[in-house]
Structure 1
């Protein structure tokens, strides 16, 4: 990623890519689409968690319409995000000038070897005149509305799930183990949503806001690239620590590993001691025979 002033672009270098050149731009746009699809997946997780907590017949009876909706919602969300990114954030003439002016001057590479997608709010033409890139602004505004819809669904069903779990805990018709499991799953889901908020949404919001204010700089985009890369590694961790069965299984695994290492070390020490005693015995016996 590269950012400067009012622009922030995601680069794909043809020399380092495994795909043919004709596939690099669609692949770059698809990479951006995964960001939008993740918004829909978070929303679907909370909808499904609410249906599971309430024991809805929609999932008990494997309702086809519900299953189709749960599958198609993130796909359709990603499809519109792809089209939006392709037509509003794709390459254009002023973007080429931006790359030449701020990136190519310090790197030994040709523009034909770079495929980029991103936002450039106040592009400059060849004569230094600045204009508003309304296509980019409208694209970012629509994508922001998509994110708001996703978060609206998350907060709505998250709150309903929380209320139902709390009310169920005061009743005796549901077992305490079932309530405990549902509570653990809910809090794990909450933390799994908080992690991308701090690793993806807040850094990307800062990056877009800085570019819109014409004060973006390169280290900001590098920070965003690092936080996005950390997300897949950190996102599963709440399940491991919050859900009791997972936590006990992981602790049991490490206990067995530690026990194996300690026992192996103890056995090695005993073997060395036995070998040392045997060597001393043989040495004393040979001395006795020689005398």
Structure 2
């Protein structure tokens, strides 16, 4: 009797902890959507002229992260790991979307994850082409927009197809779903599902290799390391060219802006490396070695929310016109809160705050 009570208490405690972590994840996602929603109009209206069409690529990223955050809130995906098994599910009881849309939603979610891995490599490649003066590839045109914006979508399509073809439900992943370490409340539900099980153990105790999982993960791993390699390559090349601007005849404001864009991009790239690529690499290695634990799956889910919460901040804080616009807004808001309106003796009492002064002070040079 006492043992059962202790076990029940442990289950309730774990459930409470998972609920708290889930709420923190949703809060991080909402904060990230808020920052991107604030950043988008700032990019549109407060970008300096020297930034050129690069602002459209930044707008593209902000819109994508808004969509990624919205999708996570609508689906509430859960990740489970144990041994060589990794399962991503969407529980219809938690999701807002109808049951019939859950499977396609989880595939789109996986594709969005891949887009976030590829998008910064594309951004560095574009910066490199701008700095080396490749006008045909960077000139504002419909073709260039489709070219640069389409590369992350192609990567997402390849990742999604890999998940759909190789990582769907089969007899092996159904076996692991019946284990105690995985949720038992999903067995008779219509769920969104993507799963990996490298080394399934059969009823007779023998272990076999699940080639579907190995092929699917091999394709995803190639995409992961390919995006990392291209990102590091173009980041280094962009750094070398940006460094030469210090001795060029370009204007001081142009050189300063290029360094701000470079530092913002470096900071913005460290975030997905830290919160997505490194946890995913750890996940892959532990699965392949058959030593993964539940904490790794929970960590991956949590770090995705941290990525969404923080990725827009470097752009907002490092690029001077954006930073000054935000600081100016807070300064204006603070003055509005601090002003004490005395007894009204005439109509149209002034508060002493002029939006014209605000605009002129934080105007883009």
- Structure-1-length-normalised TM-score: 0.83
Partner of 2:71: none
CA RMSD of aligned residues (A): 2.1
Partner of residue 74 from structure 1, selected from 152, 155, 166: 152
Residues 146-185 of structure 1: CA deviation (Å, up to 9, x unaligned):
12222222122222211111112112x2001101101100
CA distance in 2, matches of 1:258, 1:155: 42
Deviation at 1:63, TM superposition (A): 5.5
Partner of 2:339: 263
Higher helix share: 1
| 1:43 maps to 2:121 | yes
Count, aligned residues: 265
| 1:121 maps to 2:195 | no
| 1:235 maps to 2:311 | yes
Deviation at 1:208, TM superposition (A): 2.0
Partner of residue 292 from structure 2, selected from 200, 204, 216: 216
CA distance in 2, matches of 1:99, 1:256: 55
CA distance in 1, matches of 2:128, 2:300: 32
CA distance in 1, matches of 2:314, 2:335: 26
* Structure index of larger Rg: 1
Deviation at 1:103, TM superposition (A): 4.6
Partner of 2:280: 204
Deviation at 1:32, TM superposition (A): 1.0
Partner of 2:208: 131
- Mark the runs of 5 or more structure 2 residues left unpaired by the alignment: 1-78, 344-365
Partner of 1:12: 90
Return 6-15 or 250-259, whichever deviates more.
Answer: 250-259
Residues 101-134 of structure 1: CA deviation (Å, up to 9, x unaligned):
2356x64453434432122111123333321122
Q: Does the 8 Å CA contact 1:100/1:111 hold for their aligned counterparts? A: no
CA distance in 2, matches of 1:258, 1:22: 48
Q: Does the 8 Å CA contact 1:4/1:102 hold for their aligned counterparts? A: no
- C-alpha change, 1:23 and 1:125, in structure 2 (3 Å) is farther
Aligned to 1:36, the other structure's residue is in SS state: helix
| 1:84 maps to 2:162 | yes
CA distance in 2, matches of 1:128, 1:201: 35
Partner of 2:250: 174
- C-alpha change, 1:49 and 1:24, in structure 2 (3 Å) is same
